[in-house]
Amino acid sequence: MPITVEPNQSFFQWLINVKLSRIVIMVLAVLILTPLITHFYLSKVERSNNYITHSAHSHIDLSGDFDVTEIDLRVGVEELIRIRSSVLKELRNIEKKRQQFKQELQSYSKNIEELKLELAHQQTNLNRLKISVEQAQVAMHEALQQNTPDLALPERLLPDTVPPYLPPIPRNRSRNCKMFTCFDHSRCSLTSGFPVFLYDPDQYPVMNDGWDVDGFLKTTLKQVLGYNPHLTQNPAEACIYLVLVGEALKDMDDVSENVGNHKKLPALDAEALKRLPYWGGDGRNHVLLNLARRDLSAHSGDVFSQVDTGRAILVQSTFYHEYFRPDFDLITSPVLGPPGGDVWQECTYMLPSRRKYLLSFQGEMKANKSNILRKHLVGHDQELEKENHELNAFMLQHLKELANTFTSDKFLFEFECIPANDDSMKTGPQDWALCGTDSSRRTVLKDSTFVLIFAPTSTDYISTTLVQARVYEALRSGAVPVILGGDQIKLAYDEVIQWKRVAIFFPKARVTELHFLLRTIPDEDILLFRRQGRLIWERYLASVQSTLDSIVAILRLRLNIPAMPAETVAALSVFNKTFQPLLVTPTGEVEQEESLGPLEPPYDSPSFRRNYSLGLTHGDQIWNDWGDPFRLYATLPLDPLLPSDAKFIGSERGFRPIGNGAGGAGKEFAEALGGNSPREQFTILLLTYEREQVLLDSIARLRGLPYLHSVVVIWNSPKLPSPELRWPEIGVPVHVIKAARNSLNNRFLPLDNLKTEAILSVDDDAHLRHDEILFGFRVWREHRDRIVGFPGRFHAWDLNTKNSWLYNSNYSCELSMVLTGAAFLHRHYLHLYWKWLPQAIRDKVDEYMNCEDIAMNFLVSHITQKPPVKVTSRWTFRCQGCSQNLSEDDTHFQERHKCINFFTQVFGYTPLLNTQYRADSILFKTRIPHDKQKCFKFI
Active site residue 327: no
CA 835/CA 845 separation, integer angstroms: 16
User: Which residues is 231 bridged to in the sheet?
Assistant: 196
Question: Coil, helix or strand for 688?
Answer: strand
Instruction: Give the β-pairing of 788-789 and 822-826.
Output: antiparallel
Angle between helices 523-536 and 465-477 (to 10 degrees): 120
Query: Is the separation of the CB atoms in 174 and 273 below 8 Å?
Result: no
Q: What is the dihedral of CA 309, 314, 316, 317, to 10 degrees?
A: 110
CA 753/CA 571 separation, integer angstroms: 6
Q: Which of 329, 549, 628, 853 is catalytic?
A: 853
Q: With CA atoms as reference, report the closest residue to 732 among 682, 663, 694, 689.
A: 682
The DSSP secondary-structure symbol of 373 reads T
Query: Is the separation of the CB atoms in 247 and 214 below 8 Å?
Result: yes
Query: Is the separation of the CB atoms in 247 and 317 below 8 Å?
Result: no
End-to-end Cα, the chain, rounded Å: 46
Query: Is the separation of the CB atoms in 231 and 225 below 8 Å?
Result: yes
Question: Coil, helix or strand for 433?
Answer: strand
Q: With CA atoms as reference, report the closest residue to 310 among 353, 342, 268, 281.
A: 281
Helix or strand holding residue 11 (H, E)? helix 11-61
Query: Is the separation of the CB atoms in 492 and 333 below 8 Å?
Result: yes
CA 306/CA 318 separation, integer angstroms: 14
Q: With CA atoms as reference, report the closest residue to 823 among 873, 879, 869, 889.
A: 869
CA 472/CA 390 separation, integer angstroms: 29
What are the DSSP calls for 916-937, one per residue?
Answer: --EE--TTTT----TT---SST
Strand ranges (DSSP E) for 563-707?
Answer: 582-584, 682-688
3-state secondary structure 769-824: CHHHHHHHHHHHCCCCCCCEECCEEEEEECCCCCCCEEEECCCCCCECEECCCEEE
Amino acid (1-letter code) at residue 862:
H
CA 692/CA 736 separation, integer angstroms: 12
Q: With CA atoms as reference, report the closest residue to 708 among 717, 699, 716.
A: 699
| Neighbouring residues of 27: CB distance < 8 A, sequence distance ≥ 6 | 98, 101, 105
Amino acid (1-letter code) at residue 444:
V
879: number of Cβ within 10 Å: 16
CA 187/CA 163 separation, integer angstroms: 9
Catalytic residues: 853
